[in-house]
Structure 1
């Protein structure tokens, strides 16, 4: 078995950073699709209606993809926070159990 050392504060910082990235990506994806297409309608008129329909579909797909990316960053953040807490509590619990066992053997507690 190899040694494992986890800096839980750094894992929590990583989680916080990814939480911030998730919020920034979500903010970038929050576009008003109706307003965007409505603003372009006078420019293209009836002749560009087909283009605008495809543009609206592409914009909707892009917004969905951006929101999916934001959700992935958020999920990564949540998992890192949970891992940080798990590492910390496991370490504390194991140290307490070792101290209890050592005290039972007459060693230093």
Structure 2
């Protein structure tokens, strides 16, 4: 049987970092949409309304994609936290089993 060792503190740190990245991405997506369209509105005015409408639609799609990426980072974070919890739980359970077996010797 191969030996396996999991650094659960490292997993938690990884999870925390990914949760932070997810949060920053989500914030950037919403800011980017509003900021870009707001900045372009006075430049194009009524003459460029068609272009501005297309640009706004593209920005919304980009924000959606960024939010999907944010959700993937959040999912990765949740899975890493769950893995750390499971590894710690298994270690505790196996330690208790070994302790019970040692008492019988």
| TM-score where L is the length of structure 2 | 0.87
Number of positions where the alignment pairs a residue of Structure 1 with one of Structure 2: 105
Aligned to 2:45: 45
Determine if contact 2:32/2:63 at 8 Å carries over to the other structure.
Answer: no
Change (3 A) 1:35 1:81: closer
Change (3 A) 1:33 1:18: closer
Aligned to 1:98: 98
Which 5+ residue runs of structure 1 have no aligned equivalent?
Answer: none
> 2:22 matched to 1:22?
yes
Change (3 A) 1:99 1:74: same
Aligned to 2:74: 74
Larger radius of gyration: 1
Determine if contact 1:31/1:63 at 8 Å carries over to the other structure.
Answer: no
Aligned to 1:54: 54
| TM-score where L is the length of structure 1 | 0.84
Cα deviation, 1:46-80, whole Å, max 9, x if unaligned, reads 33122111101100001111111111111111110
Cα distance, 1:33 vs. partner? 4.1
Aligned to 1:7: 7
Q: For the aligned residues, what is the CA RMSD?
A: 1.8
Instruction: For 2:34 and 2:11, locate their aligned partners in 1 and report how far apart those are by CA, in whole Å.
Output: 40
